[in-house]
Amino acid sequence: MGGHPPASAPGKKALKPVSLINAILTALIILTLDVSMGSPTLSAVTAFFCVTAGWIWVLMASKERTVWVTRLRFLAIVFPVAAIVLGYWIYDGRQARARVVAVAESLNDYKARHGSYPDKLDVLVPDYFPAVPKAHSWGMSSRISYFRDSNGVVQLMYVSIPPFGRDLLDVETGKWSRLD
């Protein structure tokens, strides 16, 4: 009877290790759903509280020290990474809005010099910008759209919160509005 001891004591279930990938995917799904419906700041706060509440519950569910240590190590990795990603996302959103304002100012300067707005943003290259500006520094929704609406108002549009959340800037007045 010199065999190995059982993997777990009788009547107790063996604990499965916490999956880092599953936790990150769950947090990203919650964050993506929240981002598509709200502001970046609200999304960051919501994600933080959801993940914190979930992990407090998970930590309280176990009385084994090794499980606590493993889960605390996991939290020590996930929270700083999430904070960095969210911080960059909020920063890039603010920079995108500033880039759109810079394009609007360039368009108004172009109009003052030439008497009318250009047909395309390409005309601003190389006098105002080295290349046609993008709103965001990443992603598919980085393009700034330039057009005249049905009333002839010159507009700039960019996607502030993908997939919707299209913000419009009236180039002449500098007033912002949201398409959806």
Structural domain includes residue 127: yes
What are the backbone dihedrals phi and psi of residue 143, each rounded to the nearest 5 degrees, phi first? -75, 140
Structural domain includes residue 11: no
Structural domain includes residue 89: yes
Find, among 34, 68, 45, the residue nearest to 162 by Cα: 34
**Confidence (pLDDT) at 15:** 47
Structural domain includes residue 4: no
Structural domain includes residue 179: yes
* Whole-structure pTM value: 0.62
Question: How far apart (Å, rounded) are the C-alpha atoms in residues 66 and 19?
Answer: 15
Q: Give the number of other CB atoms < 10 A from CB of residue 53.
A: 10
Question: How far apart (Å, rounded) are the C-alpha atoms in residues 133 and 121?
Answer: 9
Find, among 130, 160, 128, 161, the residue nearest to 144 by Cα: 160
180 versus 109: the higher-pLDDT residue is 109
Structural domain includes residue 72: yes
pLDDT digits (tens, 9 = 90+) for 25-56: 666 666 665 555 454 555 556 666 666 666 66
Where residue 104 falls among pLDDT bands split at 50, 70, 90?
Answer: very high
Residue pair 108/172 in contact (Cβ under 8 Å)? The answer is yes
Q: What is the CA radius of gyration of the chain?
A: 25
Structural domain includes residue 51: yes
pLDDT digits (tens, 9 = 90+) for 79-103: 777 777 777 877 888 888 999 999 9
Structure tokens at 101: 């304002």
Q: How many structural domains is the chain composed of?
A: 1
pLDDT digits (tens, 9 = 90+) for 116-150: 999 999 999 999 999 988 888 776 678 899 999 88
What range defines the domain where residue 76 resides? 16-180
